[in-house]
Structure 1
Amino acid sequence: MLLYLSVLDTEEEKDKFTEVYEQYRHFCWYVANQLLEDAQMAEDAVQETFLALTRHLDKVGDVESPATRKFLMTIVKSKAIDILRKRKPEQSMEESEYELPDPKQDVLGDYISRENYNALISCVLELDESYRVIFEYKYVHQLSDREIGELLDISPKLVNVRYYRARKKLQEMLKKEVAGRGGR
């Protein structure tokens, strides 16, 4: 823990970090272990989580709030998935192409503005983890592409690519849902 504290500048930050660490380190390990099924790799994911937290401690308000717990859970899941991805390099991601959404077909924007929250959430939960995490960081935690990239250890451009691909997938899912409702 001294390594983490040495990165922080003020006593207030150090106190807050210590409180978060003490409150959530076991929770983070549990979440990581559930995904990785390996105690040592889970510990690595937890260490990477708290290292990332030193750069984003300003995103933590009340230490005991559900938002803080969810924020840490999102980070540790991302770190665990990164470890899994490194362990299985044959599963390459095709993020080299940059796809822009068709502004005329912004079904996602319509859903958000029409209060179809539950339908949208169920579609978001069906997204692949790599896309869902980007949405969560962007909309729940309101992080920038650069901040998300730092947390996920990817470039801001890749964050943007995944975001637009996720939007495109969500739009397709929502179109099917709208069509399904019209056919009832």
Structure 2
Amino acid sequence: MFFVFMAVENEKDRDKATELFNRYYGTMLYIAGGILHEPHLAEDAVSLSFIKILKNLDKFDMNDCTRTRGLIVIIVRNTSIDMLRGLNHNQTIPLEEYMEDTADEPVIDQITIADACEHITQCISKLNKQYADILYLKCAMNYSNDEIQQILGISQNNVKMRLYRARKALKEMLREEEKGYEQAETK
């Protein structure tokens, strides 16, 4: 990794990169290890992820730890999954491994804007990780399609397709919940 840091010409950027590495290396290794299940592959995934981070170093804000950590997690997870797919062309990864368990939202008579936003965020967390990640990057972090393409390492058409499918899946989930609420109220 030392040589990677030396490739950064600006000393300020090199310091920022070093701080990111020191702060998030453990998290990155943990996530990659959880996906790849082999320490040497996890280290490779972290190295590849860090190269992607260095290419987009200006997008990382050291003052906003939550946003920075979220972006790093997305990058290392996608890099690890890409590596796993490359190693196992014939195997599929069960969706359940990447879905988070979230509690169902209780029915609320009057929903405030804050409650609605939180409810939508919870629905997004129930989506497929690819869809949740791309919505997070596009909506929460306001990245352009080009920036998302670089971060996720996918084509421009793939970015557009994932955004379309993610929005469609979210709308369907919200409609289904609304139908469930209406049915519960009529009983």
TM, length-normalised to structure 2: 0.79
Paired-residue identity, %? 32
Partner of residue 18, structure 2? 18
Distance 2:24 2:167 in 1: 32
Residues 112-131 of structure 1 aligned to structure 2 (within 5 Å):
116-131=116-131
1:63 Cα deviation from its structure 2 partner: 5.8
1:59 Cα deviation from its structure 2 partner: 1.6
1:167 Cα deviation from its structure 2 partner: 0.6
1:115 Cα deviation from its structure 2 partner: 5.3
Partner of residue 54, structure 1? 54
Partner of residue 105, structure 2? none
Q: For the Cα contact (< 8 Å) 1:16–1:63, is it kept in 2?
A: no
| 1:146-165 residue CA offsets vs partner (Å, 9 max, x unmatched) | 12212222112211111101
Distance 1:129 1:13 in 2: 30
Distance 1:89 1:63 in 2: 40
Distance 2:43 2:114 in 1: 43
Partner of residue 38, structure 2? 38
CA RMSD of superposed structures (Å):
2.2
Partner of residue 100, structure 2? none
Partner of residue 133, structure 1? 133
For residues 91 and 137 of structure 1, do their structure 2 counterparts lie closer, same or farther at Cα, with a shift above 3 Å needed?
farther
TM, length-normalised to structure 1: 0.80
Q: For the Cα contact (< 8 Å) 1:45–1:80, is it kept in 2?
A: yes
Letter aligned with residue 40 of structure 2:
Q
Distance 1:145 1:90 in 2: 30
5+ residue gaps, structure 1: 93-110
For residues 142 and 28 of structure 1, do their structure 2 counterparts lie closer, same or farther at Cα, with a shift above 3 Å needed?
same
1:39 Cα deviation from its structure 2 partner: 0.8
Matched, 1:159 2:159: yes
| 1:81-118 residue CA offsets vs partner (Å, 9 max, x unmatched) | 111222232368xxxxxxxxxxxxxxxxxx9x785123
Partner of residue 84, structure 2? 84
Letter aligned with residue 28 of structure 1:
M
Matched, 1:142 2:142: yes
